[in-house]
């Protein structure tokens, strides 16, 4: 039988936006020393809006950058894709079709559009492929993606997301309970630094690929940390499985939810604080 205090806490948890899939994950929540957060959709709202479109190649225009990027993004479910498609709609551009779609893991997407190989990619992809941008006009809070046509930079798109109003208090409460918070994101370092500093987090790691997320969790565990990690993507599943407590974000992929012991139904970081405090309270009642 389920002990009464546990049953009660589980229903209390449900009222606080937590779906407990694995009871030992809930019982172990009191041991957490570090919470590793993904950024988009957990600490931020996860709704990207296009804030700037900058053509780089001579014959390119803002509309053309959006039209071609949208052709690729119609095949993607990333929040960046939603933002770019929204902009295409606003500009009433006719989106061409895309073939041979491929996800470039953690760095973007590629497809054939109008007979050319096109990519919409991260700053990290440019670095690895030695593509340079002169005088990039984005600020530190903007996420930027680049349109590459036949290996040449055509232009770029800046997008902005908003920090959730509840995030700062959640991080602060963790700190008051001696729990470290770390930001782990595939987004660029400037955005990661800005979010992490705004929220008073302990550290950040940016431009991480999925296997690097897994390595980061292992490294923290080797240093004696008891690690909870939040994640939403298919990409996050290996790291969620490695974490002592995997927390899937409600709005995310099914694979993340299957791997995790706990689901944050409302994708809200304040509910992680509830999880830890309930875990502690339940334990006290049991001993």
Residue 33 Cβ vs ligand ADP, minimum distance, rounded to whole Å:
23
Which residue, 107 or 282, has its beta carbon nearer to ligand ADP?
A: 107
Return the number of other C-beta atoms located less than 10 Å from residue 32's C-beta.
23
150 belongs to the catalytic site: no
Return the number of other C-beta atoms located less than 10 Å from residue 141's C-beta.
16
Contact partner, 261, from Mg ion, ligand ADP, none, Cβ < 5-8 Å per class = none
Residue nearest to ligand ADP as judged by C-beta position: 186
Distances (CA, A) of 26 to 23, 116, 127, 235, 270: 5, 51, 41, 24, 16
**Going residue by residue from 38 to 57, which x/- string records binding to Mg ion, judged by CB under 5 A?**
--------------------
Contact partner, 179, from ligand ADP, Mg ion, none, Cβ < 5-8 Å per class = none
Which residue, 73 or 244, has its beta carbon nearer to ligand ADP?
A: 73
Note the helical H segments in the chain: 4-15, 23-28, 62-73, 79-90, 123-128, 167-176, 189-198, 210-222, 237-242, 254-259, 270-286
**Going residue by residue from 188 to 227, which x/- string records binding to Mg ion, judged by CB under 5 A?**
----------------------------------------
Contact partner, 237, from ligand ADP, Mg ion, none, Cβ < 5-8 Å per class = none
Residue 125 Cβ vs Mg ion, minimum distance, rounded to whole Å:
16
Q: What is the DSSP letter of 233?
A: S
Cα distance between residue 79 and residue 40, in whole Å:
8
Q: Per CB under 5 A, which of residues 216..275 are in contact with Mg ion?
A: 233
Residue 257 Cβ vs ligand ADP, minimum distance, rounded to whole Å:
15
Contact partner, 145, from ligand ADP, Mg ion, none, Cβ < 5-8 Å per class = ligand ADP
Number of residues that bind Mg ion (CB under 5 A): 1
Sequential DSSP letters for 88-151: HHHTT--PPP-EEEEEETTTEEEEEETTEEEEEE-HHHHHHTT---SS----TT-EEEEEEETT
Distances (CA, A) of 242 to 93, 205, 229, 236: 44, 17, 9, 10
Residue 89 Cβ vs ligand ADP, minimum distance, rounded to whole Å:
17
Contact partner, 87, from Mg ion, ligand ADP, none, Cβ < 5-8 Å per class = none
Residue 233 Cβ vs ligand ADP, minimum distance, rounded to whole Å:
5
Q: Report the interface residues with ligand ADP, using CB under 6 A.
A: 38-40, 73, 76, 78, 80-81, 106-109, 120, 122, 143, 145, 185-187, 233, 235
Q: Which of 38, 161, 232, 236 is catalytic?
A: 38
Angle between helices 79-90 and 62-73 (to 10 degrees): 130
- Residue 247 and residue 142 in contact, taking contact as beta carbons nearer than 8 Å: no
Relative to beta strand 152-160, strand 180-184 is unpaired
Contact partner, 180, from ligand ADP, Mg ion, none, Cβ < 5-8 Å per class = none
Residue 40 Cβ vs Mg ion, minimum distance, rounded to whole Å:
6
**Binding interface with Mg ion (CB under 5 A):** 233
Residue numbers annotated as active site: 38
């Amino acid at each position: 039988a389920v002990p009464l205090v546990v049953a009660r806490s589980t229903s209390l948890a449900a009222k606080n936006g937590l779906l407990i899939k694995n009871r030992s994950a809930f019982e172990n929540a009191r041991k957490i020393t570090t919470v590793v957060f993904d950024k988009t959709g957990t600490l931020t709202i996860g709704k990207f809006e296009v804030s700037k479109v900058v053509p780089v190649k001579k014959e390119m225009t803002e509309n053309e950058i959006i039209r071609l990027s949208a052709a690729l993004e119609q095949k993607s479910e990333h929040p960046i894709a939603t933002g770019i498609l929204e902009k295409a709609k606003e500009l009433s551009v006719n989106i061409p079709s895309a073939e041979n779609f491929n996800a470039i893991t953690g760095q973007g997407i590629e497809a054939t559009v109008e007979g050319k190989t096109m990519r919409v990619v991260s700053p990290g992809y440019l670095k690895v492929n030695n593509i340079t941008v002169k005088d990039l006009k984005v600020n530190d809070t903007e996420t930027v993606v680049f349109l590459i046509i036949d290996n040449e930079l055509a232009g770029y798109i800046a997008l902005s997301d908003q920090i959730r109003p509840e995030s700062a208090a959640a991080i602060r409460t963790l700190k008051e309970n001696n729990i470290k918070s770390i930001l782990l994101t595939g987004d660029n370092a400037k955005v990661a630094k800005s979010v992490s500093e705004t929220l008073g987090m302990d550290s950040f790691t940016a431009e991480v690929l999925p296997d690097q997320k897994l390595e980061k969790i292992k490294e923290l565990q080797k240093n004696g940390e008891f690690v909870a990690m939040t994640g939403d993507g298919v990409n996050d599943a290996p790291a969620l499985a490695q974490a002592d407590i995997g927390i899937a974000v409600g709005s995310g992929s099914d694979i993340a939810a299957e791997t995790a012991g706990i689901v944050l139904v409302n994708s809200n970081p304040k509910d992680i604080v509830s999880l830890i405090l309930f875990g502690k309270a339940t334990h006290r009642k049991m001993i």
